[in-house]
Structure 1
Amino acid sequence: MQEDASPEHRRPTIKDVAERAGVTKATVSKYLNRAHGYAMAASTRERIRAAIQELDFQPSPLARGLSRSATSTIGLVVADIRSQFYPDLVASIQTAAEAAGYTLVLGSSGDDPGRELDIIRSMAHRRVDGVVLVAVRSESDHIEYLRRRGIQIVLASRDLPDLVADTVVVDSLAGGRAATRHLRSLGHTRLAHVAGEATVKPFADRARGFALETADLPGLPVEVATSTIEGGRAAARSLLDVASPPTGIFFASDTMALGGLMACADLGLRVPDDVSVAGFDNVTVGQLPGIGLTTIDSDAARVGERATELLLERILAPAGATTDPVLITRPAELVVRTSTAPPRD
């Protein structure tokens, strides 16, 4: 059966929008590409916006991309979307991208460098205009892969030993020190740290912060775990199921700390009466009554927003413009809740 090609059934075009708004097709095209700085009177923008809404017009991202060698698409690569840390970060990046007229494409590497590279390659093939990397480890090969293809990159929440791209992070070293100092200020001397993988620089910095603040307390145990609830749970059980367990534990992430709370319940230990627990990230679930996790605020929403702003600045910069990468370090703030208290003894 032949489709009905009447105006009310066919897909509206830029020409239809232009006629409805009483402007030229070129003006509508400029409105659709407003993220690229085209000037336009507010009344004209409003007429075009109303026409688009009335006609239910959906611009073709591919056609827009071909017209200016771009796709108005930003890629976001995270380590593990199941982590409690990512919702605020992803939401802030998506909000900032959409406000600028960009679509966000999300990929989760599962903390696998090989899979991370596959996702990055896929995004490059989709011709994304830029990528926010949150899943990077210590190597910079993935960044060079994107850079060779003319794709802009910003790192968010995870940094590398060398500043090879614009980077926005919270101060993990200062945060590790603040969390450990808090436990010591309460009187804890039998302390332990559940660390993340040393190849991830923020985790290494947090572990160094712990070490610096406990340098006068030799022999404190450190367990390395995957940044998952189960990883934190297993590490905490190993630390606590001994004759003289620590009275305070600093976890490299809130996700691991949540596993630590489960381990305490497994062993019949009360938090904070038997053991104080501190984390890092300030995830939403840690704020719930009954959990009350003491933590370091990773400022995820602002980190994501600022990283997206930097990426858009790179994307929209004049052709040939080059500037050195910048590092923006957000302060680490301690948030004290009910999971920490002085030791009973």
Structure 2
Amino acid sequence: MDDDQAAPEHTRRPTIKDVADRAGVTKATVSKYLNRAHGYAMAASTRERIRAAIQELDFEPSPLARGLTRSATSTIGLVVADIRSQFYPDLVASIQAAAEAAGYTLVLGSSGDDPHRELDIVRSMAHRRVDGVVLVAVRSESDNIDYLRRRGIQIVLASRDLPELVADTVVVDSLAGGRAATRHLVSLGHRRLAHVAGEATVKPFADRRRGFELETAGLGAEVPVAVAQSSIEGGRAAALRLLDVGSPPTGIFFASDTMALGGLMACADLGLRVPDDVSIVGFDNVTVGQLPGIGLTTIDSDAVRVGELATELLLKRIPAPRDADPAPTLITRPAVLVERTSAARPRA
């Protein structure tokens, strides 16, 4: 048979046994190496031999196969409301970095702020046998939490909380943040104020609105509130409704920076200057708000630290027996005002 007619060489994916043979160790030792995120001790020389064997053989462990042998997959799910929001990049990046540093893979799902889709994503993650889930897209109802709990999957809430503490939760103090943002506008001399609020079913938005109402209760006049989706277009439309009137507000507090960016667009639509004609304060401290020409005054949501702490809490719970789970923990980060150029004293 000539070369052109020679049968192709048989190839197959390398297995744990191949890695063990190459490294001169047992399959159990290779398995411990692959599951090192769970605390298995191993000599540095043994670890290096296994690492070299994996690299030489181009071995890729199957997360599902590993999950079948130890009832875990070294995978964490993350559910956010809308990945297009300016708020999420820092939070997602911090959770991913913390997860990968501990040997976990992150699976991301974006619900589009749809509670039904959120539950579908949660179910899909459960079917993938994730070890735990960080929920950022939760609303007042907790069906998704109940669903995961029934399947023995650990949960942590990040940047959003529920009326009752049903799971480990890490948030910034939205009530205090709403008060600080509004108090800043009042301290600058603004008396005609308005608030662009998020949906009341999202507790942080409800808390920010409550903070605004507490700080404006003594102004002696009805203070308008426009409810909008937490998107640029939602903030833009709400701001247009508030500003396109006979006696518009001189200061507006937006429940998120994403909506505040829409507010800046609305001011441009109406030929209003920020902060000369309208002062704007947001909530989140997103990266784009720091850019020259925007200079958004805001409340820092501490997204990076919130993501890190949420991941740490989840990783502590994953190895624990389900019948020995401690009571849920609430970590509340302080709300810090970041002053930039979008808010100033009103014109006389």
TM-score, normalising length: structure 1: 0.96
Please state how far the C-alpha of 1:302 moved relative to its aligned partner. 1.1
CA distance in 2, matches of 1:82, 1:3: 48
CA distance in 2, matches of 1:179, 1:51: 57
CA distance in 2, matches of 1:53, 1:291: 48
Residue type of the alignment partner of 2:239: A
CA distance in 1, matches of 2:209, 2:152: 36
Tell me which of 4, 7, 12 is aligned to 2:9.
4
Residue deviations 1:35-67 (CA, integer Å, cap 9, x gap) = 111111233223322332233221111110111
- In structure 1, the gaps of 5 or more residues are none
Specify the alignment match of 2:83 in structure 1: 81
Q: Give yes or no for the alignment of 1:16 onto 2:18.
A: yes
Q: Tell me the secondary structure at the aligned position of residue 214 of structure 1.
A: helix
Tell me which of 53, 56, 59 is aligned to 2:58.
56
Residue type of the alignment partner of 1:133: L
Q: Identity percentage over the alignment?
A: 87
Residue type of the alignment partner of 2:115: P
Tell me which of 258, 262, 273 is aligned to 1:259.
262
Specify the alignment match of 2:342 in structure 1: 339
Q: Tell me the secondary structure at the aligned position of residue 218 of structure 2.
A: coil
CA distance in 1, matches of 2:275, 2:7: 71
Q: Give yes or no for the alignment of 1:94 onto 2:96.
A: yes
CA distance in 1, matches of 2:184, 2:267: 20
Tell me which of 222, 226, 232 is aligned to 1:223.
226
Tell me which of 168, 183, 186 is aligned to 1:184.
186
Q: Tell me the secondary structure at the aligned position of residue 134 of structure 2.
A: strand
CA distance in 2, matches of 1:307, 1:339: 31
Q: Give yes or no for the alignment of 1:142 onto 2:140.
A: no
CA distance in 2, matches of 1:276, 1:28: 61
Tell me which of 246, 265, 277 is aligned to 2:280.
277
Tell me which of 224, 239, 242 is aligned to 1:239.
242
Residue deviations 1:248-301 (CA, integer Å, cap 9, x gap) = 100000000000000000000011111111100011111111111011111111
Residue deviations 1:4-24 (CA, integer Å, cap 9, x gap) = 22xxx5322222322333322
Do the aligned residues in 1 keep the contact of 2:196 with 2:254 (CA within 8 Å)? Answer: yes
Q: Tell me the secondary structure at the aligned position of residue 316 of structure 1.
A: coil
- In structure 2, the gaps of 5 or more residues are 1-5
1:314-325 equivalence runs, <5 A: 314-318=317-321, 320-325=323-328
Please state how far the C-alpha of 1:319 moved relative to its aligned partner. 5.4
CA distance in 1, matches of 2:336, 2:322: 39
Q: Give yes or no for the alignment of 1:289 onto 2:292.
A: yes
Specify the alignment match of 1:298 in structure 2: 301
TM-score, normalising length: structure 2: 0.95
Distance 1:318-1:44 versus aligned 2 partners, 3 A rule: farther
Q: Tell me the secondary structure at the aligned position of residue 77 of structure 1.
A: strand
Residue type of the alignment partner of 1:240: L
Q: Which moved more, 1:122-131 or 1:192-201?
A: 122-131
Q: Tell me the secondary structure at the aligned position of residue 45 of structure 1.
A: helix
Q: Which moved more, 1:26-35 or 1:318-327?
A: 318-327
1:33-48 equivalence runs, <5 A: 33-48=35-50
Q: Which moved more, 1:221-230 or 1:39-48?
A: 39-48
Tell me which of 180, 194, 197 is aligned to 1:195.
197
CA distance in 2, matches of 1:234, 1:304: 31
Q: Tell me the secondary structure at the aligned position of residue 154 of structure 1.
A: strand
Number of residues of Structure 1 aligned to a counterpart in Structure 2: 342
Please state how far the C-alpha of 1:206 moved relative to its aligned partner. 0.3
Q: C-alpha root-mean-square deviation of aligned residues, in Å?
A: 1.4
Specify the alignment match of 2:3 in structure 1: none
Once superposed, which parts of structure 1, at least 4 consecutive aligned residues long, lie more than 6 Å away? none
CA distance in 1, matches of 2:100, 2:54: 17
